[in-house]
Amino acid sequence: MAELDKVLLDLVSPMVEDKDSLTVKEMPSDSDREVVLHVIAKNDDIARLIGRRGSMASALRQVMSVASHTDDKRVTIKFEEIENGERAE
């Protein structure tokens, strides 16, 4: 069973400037077959991860869909900005 949060963190880490503020958290879901992952980073990094017209976010979702296929899970990725001065935990 793949640790999907770690897989996603490995994918997005090279794309952000402030790696210290980057966090990927797995959040509870209503369904046993769904995994909800929150990518938390600074505003500029979130914009970079989403990309123009959501192209980068779409590509990340497709790659994570492939990664979760062996576990027969559906992955939902949400992007969140951290406030200035806050640190993601």
Classify residue 87: in a domain, yes or no: no
pLDDT interval class at 36 (50, 70, 90): very high
Burial of 62 (0-12, 13-18, 19+ CB in 10 A): exposed
pLDDT of residue 1: 37
For the chain, what is the domain count? 1
Classify residue 40: in a domain, yes or no: yes
- In terms of residue numbers, what domain contains 58? 4-81
pLDDT of residue 86: 58
Classify residue 68: in a domain, yes or no: yes
Question: What CATH number is given to the structural domain containing 56?
Answer: 3.30.300.20
Classify residue 88: in a domain, yes or no: no
How many angstroms separate the first and last alpha carbons of the chain?
24
CA angle centred on 5, ends 74 and 60, rounded to 5°:
65
Residue 34's nearest CA partner among 81, 73, 82, 64 is 73
pLDDT at 11 over 60: yes
Residue type, 17: E
> What's this model's pTM, rounded to 2 decimal places?
0.85
